[in-house]
Structure 1
Amino acid sequence: MKKTLAVAALSTLLLAGCSTQKFNLNPGADLTSDAALTTSQTFFVSGIGQETEVNAAEVCGSADKVAQVLTKQTFINGLLGAVTFGIYTPRTVEVRCVG
């Protein structure tokens, strides 16, 4: 019983950290193409008081060509954060362009 409870608690902790924020800047755009930029951003101590920027207009050539910006904490990002007890907490950013 204790083993089952421990596995359930650990699974809940590992899965609870996944999150995604999606910004659709061009709703009619075709999003089937690969991301123009996929990068990992590094944060420390759960990212408290830290910022990083990605210039999506520069990546796509102009602001009109930006279709979607996606930030997510993947399972691997969450696992790295859990293993380091929140000292290292990466996040993945994707930028998709029109055409």
Structure 2
Amino acid sequence: MKKIILATVIAATVMSGCARQTFIMSPVSPTKTAELNRSQPFFVSGIGQRKTVDAAKLCGGADKVAKVEVQQTFVNGLLSVVTFGIYTPRQARVFCK
């Protein structure tokens, strides 16, 4: 029984990998904090769903956007595994100049 539980935990950990998409418009200081750091909820693995963040509006113009990032963190992956893909959040961040 213990082996089955251990195998299940290991399989869930391996399958809950992290993913990140980063769009860099201009270099940003590594110590700069995000203007927006929000979790975006998706359901049923996000099939057919879209979330939009207006980075230009948030930063006061498209020329002031430094970086946009969307990431599935370990915690997001863990929530997805625990809910069997029904709830699959992603973290969105916007960095301004």
TM-score range, shorter chain: 0.7 to 0.9
Hey, which bits of structure 1, 4+ residues long, moved more than 2 A? 2-5, 7-11, 28-32
Partner of 2:15: 13
Q: 2:25 is matched with which residue? A: 25
* Residue identity (%): 54
CA distance in 1: counterparts of 2:12 and 2:51, whole angstroms = 30
d(CA) in 2 for partners of 1:93 and 1:74?
Answer: 11
Which residue of the partner structure matches residue 73 of structure 1?
A: 72
> 1:21 aligns to what SS in structure 2?
strand
Paired residue secondary structure (1:52): coil
TM-score, length of structure 2 as denominator length: 0.87
Unaligned runs of 5+ in 1: none
Is 1:53 the counterpart of 2:52? The answer is yes
SS in 1 for 2:63: helix
Matched, 1:64 2:66: no
- C-alpha distance in 1 between matches for 2:12 and 2:48: 28
Cα distance between partner residues in 2 of 1:32 and 1:8: 34
Distance 1:79 1:29, change over 3 A: closer
TM-score (norm 1): 0.85
1:90 alignment counterpart: 89
Quote the Cα distance in structure 1 between the aligned partners of 2:14 and 2:85.
16
What displacement does 1:3 show?
2.4
Pair 73,50 (structure 1): closer, same or farther in 2 beyond 3 Å: same
Q: Aligned to 1:59, what secondary structure does the other structure show?
A: helix
